[in-house]
Amino acid sequence: MPKPPFLALLLLLLISSTPFPTACARSFVCNLDKFFTYDPFAYSLAHLLDELVEFGSVEPGENFYHKTHDDNIGSPAYGRSSCSGSLTVHDCHSCLKLAVKAMKRWCHMAIGGQVELGECGLRYEQYEFV
């Protein structure tokens, strides 16, 4: 079994090889429970992440909370996105898009996750957290 310093170095190498800036990444946390590719939650989550970027960037400085409707899919997703009030709408949108990319890479198939970049962040869960 690898020793802890080796694992820490491996994690550092994996994070530093990401194609987007990680210098501004403050934190990320992922639920260890996973969902499957064709799980109804996968569809809810994809829709939720799109809406967190699109509508969460409308007013930088404000939190945007959203729940996907579960009428037809049966598995809602809950989320929050926010940007620093010092960002423009365009910069907020770009930052949230990077946060989604980070989330998809670091929390792949997790039923919940949170990522905080320098000026923006988002969180999603399979349960209501507000």
The model's pLDDT over 4-34, given as tens digits with 9 standing for 90+, comes to 443 333 333 344 444 444 445 678 899 999 9
- The Cα 127–Cα 51 span in angstroms is 17
Is 97's pLDDT higher than 60?
A: yes
What is the pTM assigned to this prediction? 0.77
Is 52's pLDDT higher than 80?
A: yes
> Among all chains, which residue has been given the structure tokens 């926010």?
82
Q: Are 99 and 5 in contact (CB under 8 A)?
A: no
